[in-house]
Amino acid sequence: MPAGSLARTRRSADNRAMREIVFDTETTGFKFSEGDRLVEIGCVELVNRVETGRTFHAYYCPQRDMPAEAFAVHGLSTAFLSDKPLFASGVAELLDFLGDAPLIAHNAGFDFGFLNGELGACGFPPICHKTRMVDTLQMARGRHPGAKHTLDALCSRYGIDRSHRVLHGALLDAQLLAQVYVELMGGRQIGLGLLSGSIVADTGPVVAAAPRKARVPRVFAATEGELAAHAAFMKGIPDALWGSADGH
> Is 173 annotated for ligand binding?
yes
| Residue 168 appears among annotated catalytic residues | yes
Spatial separation of the C-alpha atoms in residues 159 and 116, rounded to whole Å? 33
Long-range contacts of 69-72 (CB under 8 A, 24+ apart): 69/29, 70/26, 70/27, 70/28, 70/29
69 is in an annotated binding site: yes
Which amino acid, residue 158?
Y
* 74 marked among binding-site residues: yes
Grouping H, G, I as helix, E, B as strand and the rest as coil, residue 178 is helix
Q: Are 15 and 197 in contact (CB under 8 A)?
A: yes
The answer to whether 118 and 87 are in contact (CB under 8 A) is yes
Q: Is residue 111 annotated as involved in ligand binding? A: no
Instruction: Please tell me which residue in 106, 129, 149, 168 is annotated as part of the active site.
Output: 168
26 annotated as belonging to a binding site for a ligand: yes
Binding-site residue ranges for substrate:
24, 26, 69, 74, 173
Active-site residue set: 168
Binding-site residue ranges for a divalent metal cation:
24, 26, 173
Binding-site residue ranges:
24, 26, 69, 74, 173
